Chains A and B, each alone.
Chain A
Amino acid sequence: MVRSKINHNNTGYWFIAPFVIGFLVFGLYPVYNTIALSFTDTTLMKADSNFIAFKNFERLFADKTFLTAIKNTWTLWIMNFIPQIGIALLLSVWFTSNRLKIKGGGIWRMLFYLPNLLMPAAIAALFFSLFSFYGPVNQFLVRGGYIPEAVDFIRSPSVMRGLVVFIQWWMWFGQTTILIMAGMTSISLSLYEAAVMDGANTWKMFRYITAPLIKPVLVYVLVTSLVGGMQMFDIPMLLTDGRGSPANSILTNNILMYMKFRSSQGHIGAASSVGVVVFIMTSFVSLLIFYLLREKSDEKMAKGN
């Protein structure tokens, strides 16, 4: 055949080339550059910069603000992730259940997902106005006799933390629900039928069929949420003064990094060091999650062989 003159053995490389090039330029290079910058005192307002080894990191860990930011980021993420995954699991079970047969699943899914499409800036501005000292929440509570006098919610660390957690939960539970539902609907119905035959109740079916089979989806949800959570930025940044006020209660890793970046000198070296620490922390925890939730059956099979 004439066609065989062209060698197709290497065609595959052309197909993956766009990804590889994109990854090298937009993925790997920035990683390298960030790590390189974090060992210098580079600023945007000075042409020269010096290698200062681990000085940026020493300063970071001597600085209480950084430890506060890490603690805040973890608190805010965990407090929004637990209800998020809980509600998402519950909704997914309901909407995929053969017994309940809820109608209009698609519409519900869309409604759950809608908050995710709103602009964070608009949501933050909305909640700020609602909870401000002269805002409607205070008016409602005081005029209804629930509290004796107006409270400055914007200055209350617990209220502001609660708001960030709530907004993050509200924006992201739909996304998680959709992912988990997709995982659940891919489980073969025959498994449930067999379980019903054997007299299993709803809880047992969830525990022994659904849960193990959606584990890969859960790992995915957990890791992507962790990655997103460690970079939490827009809502806490826009909700108050952009500096994590009140009392640094909603100061996250990325707000801290941005504050260093946009300071009058543009300390990008110091800002990079925050990025590097967040990178190491997130990588370590992600790998730990992969390790703890690994497929145990693989190992058994390997041992058997």
Chain B
Amino acid sequence: MKRLSMIFSVLIVLSMILTACTTPATPTEGPVAQAPATEVPAVEEPAAATEVPAAVEPAAGKTVLNVWSFTNEILTMAVAFEKTHPDVDVVYTMIPMTNGEYQTKLMATLGTDAVPDVVALEAAFVKSYVESDFLADLSDLMPYAKELKMYPFVYEVGTYDGITKAYAYQATPGALFYRRSLAKEYFGTDDPVEIQKILGDMDKYTQAAAVVKEKSGGNTYMVASNGDFMNLFYANREQPWVVDNTLTVDPMVDKLIETAKAFRDNGYEAKATQWQEGWFAGMNDSLVDAEGNPKKIFSYFLPTWGLPYVLAPNATSADKSTTTVGDWGVIAGPLPYQWGGTWLGVMKETSKMDLAKEFVRFCTLDEENLTNWATGVYTNEYLKAIDPNVPDSQYQAAGDFVGSQVVVEKILPSFDNSEMSAFLGGQNSYGGFAAAAPSVNARLMQGSDDAIQRALNDPLNSYLEGTVTLDEMWQLWKDAVRNEFPDLDIP
């Protein structure tokens, strides 16, 4: 009997082990060290509420449209949509993606009848959905996109095999932000046109880094971390990571490794970590090294959302003693790239295909809506007039960079005197992005990019520190990729 009960209890313990094994206890996507850039705006957006999930009860007698997203941003447009479509009730569900809850929840509902009609998809995972069979074909909305002159990369991301399945209301081209006072000191000018000439390509950027180091006596770094410029190289490859199911390395990636090595060995980068203290401290001149010597950062690579949500809020130090407000300039930078963004797609199984399509069209391809969105028309009072139940924190401030060239050109002058333009020393904040957007290309983007690129971070840093050789670095990276993509051919 004793033996029997022993065996039984052992079995219970063992089954508990395995149960716990199969369900990762805390699905935590956002790693502390290299938090995916794109998650940050989700956190800092003024409209983002904290309660989850914020589903609203459907009203009687109206057609219900289920929309899922990972921020409260699209709720603003959902309310505006109800104004023009009074017979529709948009039931909005917000699930945060800070720790990957949104992606996990969405993946888990695929193929069940719990799927929503419309889904918001973030840059890191939009492509895996576009490549899958779960999204409906939205190609018939393309005429609207052409009419509004959508930036090509915006719909390229939503396109796979010639079929467009997702559109975005915003475009997120990247730019280079630099310190005007430091530019004057080291290059004799702070004029964006002149600075763009000095930093016009990656070799020039590296040469300028040497000038910055020499003239500052090593107290100003060209860039805070090597993670800053990785996106630029990835965005300018000529082949995707996966060609015919084979892992492929473009020469641009070799160039990235070379550049990162040069920056590390020559002391052009501050060895900070993106999204960590040192990186933020550089934005407001409060960075000090371990001995207490003040250090400065000359430039940051950030996209559209980086200006209002990352750079501006961090430009004044926590104790208000140092500030860099008004001391920034923006240029297209050495290479065109794009970073982050939210796309909208329709689930194939929806029973309200026409309405769901109309919702996507309204949010992403409607001139009036995009204009209202970017110019601050959607105030809290405006939304409350449509639906009194809208939370007090719900509104859209002016300044989001929209995906339509027609709208951008129309509203560009209205930003001459905006708060963000004052932050940039009078330079039109919208103008910098408008210059950068047309040359961005996202044709090579694939669903596996995010994981493959992340897998390179650790081996690359080991190589920069000199703990592994270049060959060992590639081997470590391939092992890490194989681990996440068992079906991929890795040479």
Residues of A whose CB lies within 8 Å of any CB of B are 23, 26-28, 30-31, 33-34, 41, 44-47, 56, 59, 63-66, 121, 124-125, 128-129, 132-135, 138-139, 141-143, 149-150, 152, 154-155, 223, 227, 230-231, 233-234, 237-243, 245-248, 254, 256-267, 270, 272, 274-276, 278-279, 282-283, 286-287, 290, 298
Contacts and interface: CB of A to CB of B under 8 A. Distances in A.
A135 B273 CA distance: 11
Interface in B1-23: 2, 6, 10, 12-23
A142 B291 contact: yes
Interface stretch (B75-83, B302-310, B417-425, B456-464): B456-464
B138 to A, nearest CB: 19
A59 B462 contact: no
23 contacts: A30-B19, A30-B23, A34-B21, A45-B132, A45-B134, A63-B479, A64-B479, A65-B480, A128-B32, A134-B278, A135-B277, A139-B290, A231-B17, A231-B21, A241-B32, A254-B21, A257-B21, A258-B27, A260-B486, A261-B24, A272-B22, A283-B17, A290-B6
Contact of B14 (A128, A267, A279): A279
B321 to A, nearest CB: 17
B28 A238 contact: yes
B393 to A, nearest CB: 25
* B: contact size bracket: 35 or more
B482 interface: yes
Given A150-B290, A282-B14, A242 B21 contact: no
A75 B18 CA distance: 21
Contacts of A267: 484-486
B491 interface: no
Contacts of A248: 458, 476, 480
Given A128-B276, A275-B18, 20 more contacts: A27-B19, A31-B18, A33-B22, A34-B18, A34-B21, A41-B487, A44-B108, A125-B32, A134-B278, A139-B292, A143-B292, A241-B458, A242-B28, A245-B457, A247-B467, A254-B21, A254-B24, A261-B24, A265-B448, A279-B14
Given A45-B107, A262-B100, A243 B465 contact: no
A118 B415 CA distance: 47
Interface in B279-302: 281, 287-292
A179 to B, nearest CB: 15
Contacts of B289: 134, 150
B32 A27 contact: no
Contacts of B376: none
Report which residue of B276, B447, B448 has the largest number of chain A beta carbons within 10 angstroms of its beta carbon. Answer: B276
Contacts of A47: 111, 133
Contact of A278 (B21, B480, B484): B21
Given A134-B289, A149-B290, A259 B483 contact: yes
A154 B108 CA distance: 34
Report which residue of B17, B462, B467 has the largest number of chain A beta carbons within 10 angstroms of its beta carbon. Answer: B17
Given A150-B289, A238-B31, A132 B276 contact: yes
Contacts of A286: 10, 13-14
Nearest to A270: B486
Contact of A23 (B15, B273, B480): B15
Contact of B291 (A143, A233, A237, A242): A143
Contacts of A237: 28, 31
B450 interface: yes
B104 interface: yes
Given A234-B25, A242-B28, A279-B21, A132 B278 contact: yes
B291 A152 contact: no
B261 to A, nearest CB: 15
Contact of B31 (A46, A240, A247): A240
B33 A154 contact: yes
A130 to B, nearest CB: 11
A262 B27 CA distance: 9
Interface in B431-460: 447-448, 450-451, 454-455, 457-458
A241 B14 contact: no
A260 B107 contact: no
A142 B28 CA distance: 34
B26 interface: yes
A143 B288 CA distance: 12
Contacts of A264: 125, 127-128, 447-448, 450-451
Contact of B480 (A142, A238, A243): A243
A133 B15 contact: no
Contacts of A46: 132-133
B287 A287 contact: no
Report which residue of A125, A138, A259 has the largest number of chain B beta carbons within 10 angstroms of its beta carbon. Answer: A259
B14 A245 contact: no
Given A30-B23, A45-B132, A261-B24, A124 B14 contact: no
Q: Closest 7 A-B residue pairs measured CB to CB?
A: A242-B31, A134-B278, A142-B290, A150-B290, A275-B21, A245-B458, A263-B484
B110 interface: yes
B103 A262 contact: yes
B272 A133 contact: yes
Report which residue of A46, A134, A139, A233 has the largest number of chain B beta carbons within 10 angstroms of its beta carbon. Answer: A134
Contacts of A121: 28
Nearest to A269: B486
A256 B483 contact: yes
A262 B290 contact: no
Contacts of B201: none
B128 A59 contact: no
Contact of A45 (B104, B128, B468, B484): B128
Contact of A275 (B22, B25, B462): B22
A124 B129 CA distance: 32
A263 B451 contact: yes
B104 A246 contact: no
Nearest to B20: A231
Given A234-B26, A260-B483, A242 B20 contact: no
A44 B483 contact: no
Contacts of A246: 458, 461-462
B451 A227 contact: no
Nearest to B23: A30
